[in-house]
């Protein structure tokens, strides 16, 4: 059995609004093994980014606050650490890259300054050593003219180049976990493939775990060994990638997969899930997906289902229908 | 970078020409006849005409302007029509006090204003923020001359700590530079607060936090460095207000500076002095904005590398 690196238990993050609190994510539990790439998917606004920011404890300057749960990294609960203790983890044990590489770099600082800053915070190096290390990291992420890029300002770089710089910066202190929040969404398709290849290569070479947040199921199929599907701030299904794509259990996952275009199959219109993700301030009682679900039963609108284990180890699903089916199969 | 600087510096020349034209025309449109004022109350029409000829005021306006330009280029600011001294002699000793006063006001108001703004932004929504912004609002709302009079009443008349006016020692700069700077301080506080709040929301600030950088460094090294670009721009514009404010402050505190000279020369329609003063004020403003532009280039790499 592989060693667990990150373990998230019953994480709940609430947002303070003028009219009281709204729950952005609730009962989020999952784990990531060492060296594993796990995908976190869902529509926009389903809590993927809030989950990642909560894990990194980057909710400052948002109205968000973690109100329940634990985040264990290497057995240590990050939510109990003081700010100062947490700073030693951020960037060192766990690093993060973001959706918009162009705006994620400081526009008035040279690339080298920004990477050296990260290095000198965590590694015991002087300026010259840190510069050398920066050069090495930038070479490793496949930047051709390293010297020129080091002396550039972010506005002089393309989106793909900026994301490579972000990755080099994130990798510079050899983190055990990389959280990639939609790292390729803002990039065009060929650059997307290059960045994903780079991330996989770093994963294989350094054994670094990756939590890959995306709404692109194609990316998930290509990159991840396990997938977590989120809807309206809850995990609704969790499975290894083959099982999820071959036998999705949750009606929401089934809907997501049905809406993917398939090669060689001609359709006039792709199916889509009717309706939209519910507003955080106005969550339906019971199952959050029930109003959009074609299988919705009486109980679905009254009581929220729990995330229960499926027959196959490691697979979980949050759905009354699936629970019912399992009971019937158990009886039969 | 060099080209950017050169472009900015050369750009000030046509600007100063346009300014000089506007000043000249405006001054000559002030109602009142300097020849009549100079010649005295009981002068005959002939005497007035003779004075007018001596001053060159009988010439067409455009010709007067060209003559004025010609004198300017030869470094001759003209002669006062009231005192008979050269304008340079009159302005010379008054230049430094005004500059010192404005400089003192500028330094304290920028430092305190920006500090207050940044602190308020960091403490957003807490009592420190409310106090900071209360100070800022008061600073903007209080009229300079009223504040000056109140300060004199308290610190000079009742407590006797500071002089009521004049410029005998360094202490006499305290009250005037405080009254002069308070408005700029307030505007800088409000502006740097909103600029910091904007920048603290930016993605690169989140990146800096994700690196494990401590909050004070995130604020100073990342957010503030970006705010500085905007802060410098606004500071440049405020200096114009500071020069205008010096006219009021010098009058209230009886400081023999350029501001008071301007008020006096307007009273006597002393065209050469008014023109020279206005030109000097404008030149200061243009130079300050030039410095701001150049600083802007230094602070903002996007501008530096565009040219």
Contact at CB, A56 and B210, closer than 8 angstroms: yes
- A-B contacts (CB, under 8 Å): 81
Say if residue A1's pLDDT is above 60: no
Residues of chain A neighbouring B211 (CB-CB closer than 8 A): 90-91, 95, 117-118, 121, 169
Nearest by CB: B226 against A91, A92, A108: A108
A151-170 residues touching B, CB cutoff 8 A: 153, 155-156, 166, 169
What's the CA gap between A53 and A70, in Å, rounded? 14
Nearest by CB: A105 against B204, B209, B229: B204
Which candidate, B233, B237, B227, places its Cα nearest to that of B192? B227
pLDDT value for B247: 84
Q: What's the domain count of chain A?
A: 1
What's the CA gap between A94 and A109, in Å, rounded? 23
User: Comparing B305 with A101, which gets the higher pLDDT?
Assistant: A101
Residues of chain B neighbouring A103 (CB-CB closer than 8 A): 202-204
B64 domain-assigned? no
Residues of chain B neighbouring A86 (CB-CB closer than 8 A): 212
A195 domain-assigned? yes
The reply to whether A104 touches chain B by the CB within 8 Å rule is: yes
A266 confidence band (pLDDT: 50, 70, 90): confident
pTM to 2 decimals?
0.81
Residues of chain B neighbouring A101 (CB-CB closer than 8 A): none
CATH number at residue B260: 1.10.3720.10
Radius of gyration, alpha carbons of chain A = 21
Angstroms from A88 CA to nearest CA on chain B = 6
Contact at CB, A98 and B206, closer than 8 angstroms: yes
B118 domain-assigned? yes
Instruction: For residue B16, count other CB atoms closer than 10 A to its CB.
Output: 15
Pair of tokens at residue A110: 């040279």
The reply to whether B301 touches chain A by the CB within 8 Å rule is: yes
Question: How much is the mean pLDDT over chain A?
Answer: 88
Q: What's the domain count of chain B?
A: 1
Which residue has tokens 């980057």?
A58
Residues of chain A neighbouring B303 (CB-CB closer than 8 A): none
pLDDT single digits (tens) A13-43 = 998 887 788 888 888 999 999 999 999 998 8
Residues of chain A neighbouring B212 (CB-CB closer than 8 A): 86-92, 118, 121-122
A234 domain-assigned? yes
Which residue has tokens 């994963």?
A203
pLDDT value for A7: 92
The reply to whether A65 touches chain B by the CB within 8 Å rule is: no
Q: Which of A87-101, A266-280, B193-207, B212-226 has the lowest mean pLDDT?
A: A266-280
B144 domain-assigned? yes
B36 domain-assigned? no
A311 confidence band (pLDDT: 50, 70, 90): confident
pLDDT value for A332: 62
A331 confidence band (pLDDT: 50, 70, 90): low
A274 domain-assigned? no
Contact at CB, A60 and B208, closer than 8 angstroms: no
pLDDT value for A302: 87
pLDDT value for B290: 87
CATH number at residue A96: 3.40.50.300
The reply to whether B198 touches chain A by the CB within 8 Å rule is: no
End-to-end CA, chain B: 7
> In which element (H, E) is residue B141 found?
helix B127-141
User: Are A170 and A183 contacting, i.e. CB atoms less than 8 angstroms apart?
Assistant: no
Instruction: Give mean pLDDT, residues A47-52.
Output: 90
Say if residue A167's pLDDT is above 70: yes
Range of the domain at B260: 94-304
Contact at CB, A106 and B302, closer than 8 angstroms: no
The reply to whether A175 touches chain B by the CB within 8 Å rule is: no
pLDDT value for B306: 63
pLDDT single digits (tens) B170-228 = 777 888 888 888 989 999 999 999 999 999 889 999 999 999 898 889 999 999 999 99
Residue of A nearest to B121 (CA): A61
Residues of chain B neighbouring A185 (CB-CB closer than 8 A): none
B212 domain-assigned? yes
State the complex-level ipTM.
0.87
> pLDDT of chain B along its 307 residues, tens only?
677 788 888 888 898 889 988 988 888 887 777 777 777 777 788 888 888 887 777 788 888 888 888 888 887 877 777 787 888 888 888 888 888 888 889 999 999 999 999 999 988 888 888 988 998 888 888 888 888 888 888 888 888 787 777 777 777 788 888 888 898 999 999 999 999 999 988 999 999 999 989 888 999 999 999 999 889 888 888 887 787 788 888 888 888 888 888 888 888 878 788 888 888 888 888 888 888 888 888 888 887 766 4
Residue of A nearest to B123 (CA): A61
pLDDT value for B89: 84
Residues of chain A neighbouring B227 (CB-CB closer than 8 A): none
pLDDT value for B284: 84
Q: Dump the DSSP string for A47-77.
A: SHHHHHHHHHT--TTSSEEEEEEEEEETTEE
Q: B283: buried, middle or exposed (CB in 10 Å: 19+, 13-18, 0-12)? A: middle
Q: Could you tell me which residues come within 8 angstroms of residue A283 by beta carbon, excluding any fewer than 6 positions away?
A: A23, A232
Which candidate, A65, A90, A6, A42, places its Cα nearest to that of A253? A42
The reply to whether A122 touches chain B by the CB within 8 Å rule is: yes
Contact at CB, A103 and B202, closer than 8 angstroms: yes
B290 domain-assigned? yes
Angstroms from A223 CA to nearest CA on chain B = 24
Residue of A nearest to B219 (CA): A61
Range of the domain at A250: 4-260
Nearest by CB: B201 against A61, A96, A156: A61
DSSP A277: P
CA distances from A16 to A13, A49, A62, A67, A165 (A): 10, 17, 9, 11, 34
Residue of B nearest to A115 (CA): B211
The reply to whether A280 touches chain B by the CB within 8 Å rule is: no
């Amino acid at each position: 059995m592989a060693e667990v690196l990150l373990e998230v238990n019953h994480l709940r993050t609430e947002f303070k609004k003028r009219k009281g609190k709204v729950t952005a994510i609730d009962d989020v539990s999952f784990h990531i093994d060492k060296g594993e790439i796990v995908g976190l998917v869902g529509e926009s606004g389903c809590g993927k980014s809030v989950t990642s920011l909560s894990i990194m404890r980057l909710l400052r300057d948002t109205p968000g606050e973690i109100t329940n749960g634990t985040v264990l990294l290497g057995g240590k609960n990050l939510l109990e650490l003081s700010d100062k203790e947490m700073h030693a983890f951020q960037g060192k044990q766990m690093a993060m890259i973001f959706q918009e590489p162009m705006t994620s770099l400081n526009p008035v600082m040279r690339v080298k300054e920004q990477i050296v800053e990260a290095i000198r915070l965590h590694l015991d190096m002087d300026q010259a050593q840190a510069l050398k290390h920066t050069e090495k990291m930038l070479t490793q992420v496949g930047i051709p003219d390293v010297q020129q890029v080091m002396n550039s300002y972010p506005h002089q770089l393309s989106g793909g180049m900026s994301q490579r710089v972000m990755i080099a910066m994130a990798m510079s202190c050899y983190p055990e976990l990389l959280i990639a929040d939609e790292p390729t969404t803002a990039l065009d398709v060929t650059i997307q493939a290059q960045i994903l290849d780079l991330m996989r290569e770093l994963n294989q070479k350094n054994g670094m775990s990756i939590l890959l947040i995306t709404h692109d199921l194609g990316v998930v199929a290509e990159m991840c060994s396990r997938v977590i599907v989120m809807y309206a701030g809850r995990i609704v299904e969790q499975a290894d990638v083959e099982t999820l794509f071959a036998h999705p259990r949750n009606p929401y996952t089934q809907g997501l997969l049905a809406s993917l275009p398939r090669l060689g199959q001609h359709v006039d219109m792709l199916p889509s899930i009717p309706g939209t993700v519910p507003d955080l301030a106005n969550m339906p009682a019971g199952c959050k997906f029930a109003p959009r679900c074609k299988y919705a039963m009486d109980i679905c609108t009254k009581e929220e289902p729990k995330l229960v284990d499926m027959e196959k180890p490691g697979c979980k699903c949050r759905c009354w229908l699936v629970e019912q089916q399992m009971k019937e199969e158990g009886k039969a | 970078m060099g080209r950017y600087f050169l472009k900015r510096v050369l750009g000030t020349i046509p600007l100063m020409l346009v300014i000089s034209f506007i000043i000249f025309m405006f001054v000559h449109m002030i109602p009142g006849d300097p020849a009549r004022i100079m010649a005295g109350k009981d002068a005959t029409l002939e005497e007035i005409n003779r004075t007018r000829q001596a001053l060159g005021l009988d010439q067409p306006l455009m010709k007067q302007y060209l003559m004025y330009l010609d004198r300017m280029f030869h470094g001759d600011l003209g002669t006062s029509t009231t005192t008979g001294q050269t304008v340079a002699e009159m302005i010379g000793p008054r230049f430094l006090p005004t500059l010192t006063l404005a400089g003192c006001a500028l330094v304290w108001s920028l430092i305190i204003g920006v500090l207050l703004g940044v602190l308020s932004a960091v403490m957003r929504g807490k009592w420190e923020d409310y106090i900071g912004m209360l100070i800022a609002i008061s600073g903007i709302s209080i009229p300079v001359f009223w504040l000056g009079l109140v300060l004199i009443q308290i610190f000079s008349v009742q407590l006797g700590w500071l002089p009521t006016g004049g410029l005998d020692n360094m202490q006499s700069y305290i009250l005037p530079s405080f009254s002069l700077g308070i408005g700029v301080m307030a505007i800088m506080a409000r502006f740097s607060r909103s600029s910091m709040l904007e920048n603290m929301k930016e993605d690169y600030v989140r990146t800096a936090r994700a690196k494990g950088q401590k909050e004070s460094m995130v604020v100073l090294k990342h957010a503030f460095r970006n705010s500085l670009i905007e802060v410098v721009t606004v500071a440049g514009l405020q200096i114009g207000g500071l020069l205008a404010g010096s006219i009021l402050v010098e009058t209230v505190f009886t400081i023999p500076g350029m501001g008071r000279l301007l008020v006096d020369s307007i009273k006597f329609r002393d065209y050469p002095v008014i023109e020279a003063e206005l030109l000097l004020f404008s030149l200061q403003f243009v130079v300050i904005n030039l410095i701001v532009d150049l600083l802007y280039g230094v602070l903002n790499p996007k501008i530096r590398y565009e040219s």
